[in-house]
Copies of this chain bind each other. A is one copy, B any other.
Amino acid sequence: MVKNMAEIEMSEAQLEVVADRFRLLSDPMRLKILQCLREGEATVSQLVEATQSSQPNVSKHLSILKGAGLVKRRQEGNSAYFSVGAPFVFDLCAIVCDGVRKELDEKQASFS
């Protein structure tokens, strides 16, 4: 089990880094890309199709994710294959997504 933050003080610099990590996940498009990649690697074109976004936009986000080590890149022919490089991301999302899903489901249920 991971240690709880409550147990250890973090320095100014450490907090900056932590904030940066969370910021990576604070964009719907990047979450969507990561969600697409959960089933395995995909090319930029496939992600463009899946996300219904523009190619430059997808490339840009992939570049950001790659810079942070959250995704890996592999070239084959003239295609670039991306895959998840840090599975811990899904642990994070699991905690948040689970909570969000419950809340939204309840909200939806109250309408029916």
Contacts and interface: CB of A to CB of B under 8 A. Distances in A.
Contact of A93 (B5, B98, B99): B5
Contact of A92 (B19, B95, B101): B95
Q: Name the 4 nearest CB pairs between A and B, nearest first.
A: A23-B26, A5-B93, A22-B25, A22-B26
Interface of A: 2-6, 8-10, 12-23, 25-28, 30-32, 35, 38-39, 88, 90-101, 103-104
Contacts of A13: 104
Copies, count: 2
Contact of A5 (B15, B18, B28, B90): B90
Residue from A8, A16, A30, A94 whose CB has the most chain B CB atoms within 10 Å:
A94
